[in-house]
Amino acid sequence: LSNGWVIKIGRGLDYFKAPEGKFVLGACDLELRPCLETTIDIFHTSHLEKPF
């Protein structure tokens, strides 16, 4: 099922910085971890060039 929107994340799904150990803030809660820099592209397939 597709509505035509494409969302592309530059780093894949690994965009959180790894924790420094098992017992630090953010080891189990991703909301407490800093994010790594990434790009997110959102576009609709109607704006793509059609192949011949």
Give me the pLDDT at residue 51, please: 66
30 in any annotated domain = yes
Region of 22 please: left (phi>0), alpha (psi -120 to 50) or beta: alpha
pLDDT of 1 above 70: no
Closest CA to 35 of 26, 46, 48, 22: 26
Number of domain units in the chain: 1
Pairing relationship of beta strands 5-9 and 40-44 according to DSSP bridges: antiparallel
Distances (CA, A) of 40 to 26, 43, 45, 48: 23, 10, 16, 17
End-to-end CA gap in the chain: 24
- Mind listing the pLDDT tens digit for each residue in 2-21? 899 999 988 877 888 888 88
43 in any annotated domain = yes
- Mind listing the pLDDT tens digit for each residue in 16-48? 888 888 898 888 888 888 888 989 999 998 877
16 in any annotated domain = yes
52 in any annotated domain = no
